[in-house]
Structure 1
Amino acid sequence: MRTLSLLILMLLTACNQGPTVERLSGPTMGSSYSVQYVREPGGPAPIQVQSAVETLLEQVDQHYSTYRSDSTVSRFNQLPGRQCMALPADMLELVGFGQHLAKISDGAFDLTVAPLLELWGFGPRAHHEQVPDPQASAQAQQRIGYRHLREEGQALCKDAPVQLDFNAIAAGLAVDLIAERLGAMGINSFVVQVTGELKAVGRKPDGKRWRVVLEPPGEDRQIISVDGLGVSTSGDYRHYFQQNGRRYSHTFDARLGRPVEHDLASVTVLAASALVADGYSTLLLVLGPERGWRFALAQDLAAVLVTRAEGGFVSRATPAFERAVKGD
């Protein structure tokens, strides 16, 4: 009888166990990823979630990494001009999104900027950062231009020996894919972060939204509450080099063939898709403080632009951003 009572007590305890917050993380894309999710009773264990997440990250790496010679994008980049290559449907969609950003920014955002990144020392095969000579820059510029790309059915073709670089949007894509996979596993509340890009969905066990920390350069951090939004921050304050007293960012304006030279230091964008947030944060950073601000207002983007000013930094948030975080 005592054994039976103990068994019943154990069963009742298991039934009354509420949701818990599980955490997992690991390396990816030269950086790291992390996932926090609310595990309901009977929900998937962390080991299952981690396996699903890392499988997706490996697939993203296999398609989009320019750091491995066997990736899909590297094989496309190795093709000479006037060649086509069949690509997976989701990869063609990502190219389409990049082409859309290029068109609406008059080429400021460009997926074919890879030769410039390599020349200036920011690419996967570069040995050191440097300011290249004008002749080398001119030669690299001949291999850049989103207009050299076109789709033919399920194939992507290039009219010149251009090379694709998805580093500006691949992490956002990875976040969206993981979020979709978690939803398919029955997980309805989570925060996914890949190399700094993230998306938060649902509520924590206490009923509150997930809280995200924004750390703009030179300013106090800002904590916002997010539900159903991707969050992306792009900045030039961490990845740059200096030569002869001048500062050169890893953010490139493909039209000029060189790093941007303006006072916009950081951009944060909120959007329903982490991919969209990732792409627009990069685009605004390329455009600069004034053009970027006007573009964000015209497109009704939820964005914060942080600009260098005498003695510090100045932050401006669009009305759409204020609406998105209202009621935190």
Structure 2
Amino acid sequence: MGSPFRLIIYADNDSLANISARAAFNRIEDLNAALSDYRDDSEINAVSAQSGTDKWIPVSRDLFDILFVSDDISKKTGGAFDATLGPIVQEWRRATRKGYFPDKQLIAGALSRTGYKKIKFEASSHSIQLKEKGMRLDIGGLGKGYAADEAVKILKSFGIKSAMIDAGGKLALMDPPPGEKGWKIVISSGRDSIEIIEYSNVGIATSGPTYRYLEYNGKRYSHIVNPKTGIGLEHHVRTTVISPNATEADALATAFSVSGIKEGKKYLKRFPNNKVWLVETKGDKIKTWNTILK
């Protein structure tokens, strides 16, 4: 999925740790093969290739479930999260790699092939329909969190209770290390102070343009694209979300980054048991919304 995965496991012996870790990584690799849009032979790309055909496309349970979760979050955030942004994400990946700003017509053309409302679901047959020709699914906004949650299930099946799965900065935390109250997680935006938070049995995700961004004409554009404009975010500094699971944390870190503080406060009411720390710039000022550290 374009990111490194790391496991930290506490087990009764090396053998159990190794066997459970291998099984967890095998599950992650299976998901990568199915859900990564970086792979030409992935299931998600094969499904996207059938867009606009008016046929119901049978998909794996994993792909159906992750798209169904995505659809729910899209509805609750007014489209701030959207798993159909593949066409515009592809344009921004190329632009970031080559250092140019995408042409307005390219952006408009790509945006015309997006929209979460253009995905239809048939639960009884685990099938979906992509209504617009040229649609391209991209679950990068929650795929790593989903893979981390699935790794947790595998580890639990081996009797592992204490572990942390780091999926490219998207964390799934199980019970804390022996003798500790929780996993100590360091959060820093690079602009505000470093804080150490302590949690267990939650998902934590942080999104920001620290490493992936486009620098153009003195402006920094995030790799996170606004679904309404097709432009990389300009004012986003960092968003951290703590959720009951890593899938939700991963998706909401993107959604709140897009929505910003004002709209984000409305959306948070629809996601109980979630906490947010969002830092953004408005002109020369830095604004912070923090429900994690009160």
Partners of 1:242 and 1:94 lie apart in 2 by 32
Q: What are structure 2's unaligned runs of at least 5 residues? A: none
Q: 1:45 to 1:241 in 2, by over 3 A?
A: same
Answer yes or no: is the 8 Å Cα contact 2:99–2:215 preserved in 1.
Answer: no
Matched, 1:150 2:120: yes
Secondary structure of 1:217's counterpart equals coil
1:27-67 deviations in whole A, cap 9, x for unaligned? xx333222122212x57533212311220111111111111
Which residue is equivalent to 1:89?
A: 61
Shift of 1:134: 2.1
Mapped to 2, the partners of 1:247 and 1:120 lie a distance apart of 13
Q: What amino acid is aligned across from residue 136 of structure 1 in structure 2? A: L
Structure 1 residue 122: Cα displacement? 5.0
The answer for the alignment partner of 2:104 in structure 1 is 134
Distance in 1 between the 2:241 and 2:2 partners? Answer: 23
Structure 2 residue aligned with 1:195 = 168
Contact 1:230 / 1:273 at 8 angstroms: preserved in 2? yes
Shift in alpha-carbon separation, 1:129–1:292, aligned structure 2, 3 A: farther
User: Cα 1:255–1:316, aligned 2, differ >3 Å: closer, same or farther?
Assistant: closer
Cα distance, 1:155–1:231 mapped onto 2, change above 3 Å:
same
Q: Deviations over 1:64-102 (max 9, x none)?
A: 111111110010111241233211122211101111121
The offset of 1:213, in angstroms, is 1.5
- 1:45 and 2:23 equivalent? no
1:158 is displaced (CA, Å) by 1.1
The one-letter amino acid of 1:30's match is: G
Matched, 1:164 2:134: no
> Which letter does structure 2 place at the counterpart of 1:260?
L
Give the match's secondary structure for 2:178.
coil
Matched with 2:242 is 270
Note if contact 1:306-1:313 (Cα within 8 Å) is conserved in structure 2: yes
Query: Runs of 5+ in structure 1 lacking a partner?
Result: 1-28, 324-328
The match for 2:47 is 76
1:317 paired residue number:
290
Q: How many equivalent residue pairs?
A: 289
Query: Which of 211, 216, 219 in structure 1 is aligned with 2:192?
Result: 219
Residue in 1 that maps onto 2:86: 114
- Which residue identity does 1:201 align to in structure 2? M
Residue 34 (structure 1) aligned with residue 6 (structure 2): yes
Report the aligned-residue RMSD: 2.2
Length-normalised TM-score, structure 2: 0.90
Equivalences for residues 229-308 of structure 1 within 5 A:
229-261=202-234, 263-297=235-269, 299-300=271-272, 301-308=274-281
Which structure would you say has the larger Rg?
1
Select the structure with the greater relative contact order (CA < 8 A; seq sep ≥ 6): 2
Deviation larger for 270-279 or 137-146: 137-146
Mean CA deviation greater in 42-51 or 143-152: 42-51
- Residue matched to 1:3: none
Identity %: 25
Structure 1 counterpart of 2:103, one-letter code: D
Show CA shifts across 1:243-292 (max 9, x none). 2233222111112222233x331111111110011111110001113222
Aligned residues of 1:121 and 1:129 also touching (Cα < 8 A): no
Contact (CA 8 Å) 1:213, 1:224: kept in 2 or not? Answer: yes
